[in-house]
Amino acid sequence: MIVKAAESDIAEICAIEQKSFPDPWAEALFQDILNNPSQCFYVAKNNRNHIVGYIIFWSIVDEVHILNLCVAPEYLKQGVGSHLLQFCLEFYKGKTISLFSLEVRTSNSAAQKLYEKFGFKGMYIRKNYYPNHEDALVMTFSPCMPK
């Protein structure tokens, strides 16, 4: 089940972020996003109501940027990432969106494969994008174009 993130979810979200990334986002950043009405922040919960992943995205005119999609390590390869990404794409159904975009670590081939499954294509490399100087692959998907 995917629901809007709440203040009470922040600790669980931060724990997942810490386990998932070498340079995790700070709790204050998640708080700011939660309190920013222009950003969409949703969590995936399992049948025991535990958070197993989350997605943060926002739209600017006719483009959507996915800021963060994360799945708890113990729930990888169980469809959670697909479910969250599908949710984001369907969130804008019926609206005129020309482009979805995101950055992904060049070393994260599993995430790249997930995005490719949904029609995203690698466009270019952003050098030293991440705090540890790792490059990012910018990927985009245009719902108006054939996959």
Q: Each residue of 25-63: pLDDT tens digit?
A: 999 999 999 999 999 999 999 999 999 999 999 999 999
Which domain, by its residues, includes 16? 2-141
In the annotation, is 115 catalytic? Answer: yes
The number of folded domains in the chain is 1
- For 79-101, write each residue's pLDDT tens digit: 999 999 999 999 998 888 999 99
Q: Is residue 25, in this structure, part of any structural domain at all?
A: yes
Predicted TM-score (pTM) of the model is: 0.93
Asked if the structure places residue 119 within a domain, the reply is: yes
CATH of the domain at 71: 3.40.630.30
| Residue from 12, 103, 129, 134 carrying the catalytic annotation | 103
Bridge partners, residue 42, by sequence = 4, 55
In a domain, 147, yes or no: no
Q: Tell me the per-residue pLDDT of 12-29, one tens digit each, with 9 for 90 and over.
A: 999 999 999 988 999 999
Is residue 128 in a domain? yes
Q: Is residue 20 a part of any domain in this protein?
A: yes
In a domain, 19, yes or no: yes
On whether residue 32 sits in a domain, the answer given is: yes
pLDDT at 146: 53
Which of 42, 63, 115, 130 is the catalytic position?
115
Residue 146 belongs to a domain: no
